[in-house]
Structure 1
């Protein structure tokens, strides 16, 4: 099975099933300590937390390339899930409620839309395979209630066993979205943050000129817009 520059096995020999990179593209650059810092020194303020080389996810055992696991989305800076054992001969226990879940009564919705202005910007910048991507003639808004601790965003891949919570497989399907592209992470104050899982094409928020740094949570507020792929816009709304 072919292996992409980031080290993922892929059934597709053109673009990686997991991160969406071109199979013959350049490998992702390793994290480099800040100038003057020793190898064992802590990362500087504002730098993303990067696990040591060879580290594996405490939740599922997959190799880690950044703070958030590309296979299951677990945050490597938090403790792994520890489900309670079932009593002998008794029913399975109910899953534990995450300690940092959204406060009761807080309701958020993510609305997925096709944004023509963003598409035009991507085409003007001659993004990946821009000439072969067309804006969908019909794409009704899709609404996803946000519940729990983390919400994965991407496109389903049966061969890789990837089933994101916000599945952008379509139709219509945005080919610029990686199979596991990003995470929405619940914050203790009742808001959300978005994390780019080192996707091939990245993502941006609102009209900010630069894409987000991979594996670095970016806080979101009511009405913020997350742009990814060739034309996908995700708007977060908080219920009054």
Structure 2
């Protein structure tokens, strides 16, 4: 068995089985122990071939980032909606069933709404009286996602910004962004 520049025993003849370092002779003046790059999957500093955090094999292709969303009744957002008032505010009752609904963000777009429209049914239906039939659309935005208000009646806000989104204008999202819509719904997006 050969040893790599980092001292790992390896059966391979070209790259170390443990850390992926080249077994070729280094150029004169080059450090004999190459610095390891961070994990391509999660960004954690790498100490060997396999990431200690997520298990990604450094010799494997970089994984595709996948996104998902979690829609749930949000009591704090509901209180803010009630504080602003509105014609139906005194009739709103926070739902008893406050379990979250998880869905993947796949394809070029995912629509979210209350449903009931004859012309177009949303990809994800929410049981919230303040959500329009077609309220928002999540659209693929390069490696990430953006949210677009589809001209909803009650508007859409993101994170802690109280200003509603301009209709039909994409707003890029980050991992952990919170999209508020309807009377009590918050949709949190995550990359994984």
TM (norm. structure 2) is 0.65
Rounded Cα–Cα distance in structure 1 between residues aligned with 2:77 and 2:189: 17
Q: After TM superposition, give the deviation of residue 213 of structure 1 in Å.
A: 0.7
Rounded Cα–Cα distance in structure 2 between residues aligned with 1:238 and 1:128: 37
Rounded Cα–Cα distance in structure 1 between residues aligned with 2:177 and 2:65: 17
Give 1:153-232 correspondences, 5 Å limit: 153-157=112-116, 160-168=118-126, 173-188=127-142, 190-232=143-185
Question: Which stretches of structure 1, 4 residues or more, deviate above 6 A after TM superposition?
Answer: none
Give the 3-state SS of the residue equivalent to 1:211 in structure 2: coil
Rounded Cα–Cα distance in structure 2 between residues aligned with 1:199 and 1:147: 23
Rounded Cα–Cα distance in structure 2 between residues aligned with 1:175 and 1:152: 17
Rounded Cα–Cα distance in structure 1 between residues aligned with 2:147 and 2:87: 23
Give the 3-state SS of the residue equivalent to 1:180 in structure 2: coil
1:140 aligned to which of 99, 105, 109: 99
Q: After TM superposition, give the deviation of residue 104 of structure 1 in Å.
A: 7.1
Q: After TM superposition, give the deviation of residue 147 of structure 1 in Å.
A: 0.6
Q: Which has the larger radius of gyration?
A: 2
Q: After TM superposition, give the deviation of residue 127 of structure 1 in Å.
A: 2.8
Alpha carbons of structure 1 residues 192 and 128: separation in structure 2 relative to 1, 3 Å: farther
In structure 2, the partner of 1:70 is none
In structure 1, the partner of 2:111 is 152
Structure 2 spans left out of the alignment, 5+ residues = 1-61
In structure 2, the partner of 1:35 is none
Rounded Cα–Cα distance in structure 2 between residues aligned with 1:104 and 1:192: 17
In structure 2, the partner of 1:110 is 69
TM (norm. structure 1) is 0.53
Instruction: Kindly tell me the number of residue pairs found equivalent between the two proteins.
Output: 131
Structure 1 spans left out of the alignment, 5+ residues = 1-102
Q: After TM superposition, give the deviation of residue 185 of structure 1 in Å.
A: 0.6
Name the structure, 1 or 2, with higher relative contact order (CA <8 Å, separation 6+). 1
Give 1:69-80 correspondences, 5 Å limit: none
Contact 2:114 2:129 in 1 (8 A): no
Task: Render the CA deviation track for 1:69-104: whole Å, top value 9, x for unaligned.
Answer: xxxxxxxxxxxxxxxxxxxxxxxxxxxxxxxxxx97
CA RMSD of aligned residues (A): 1.5
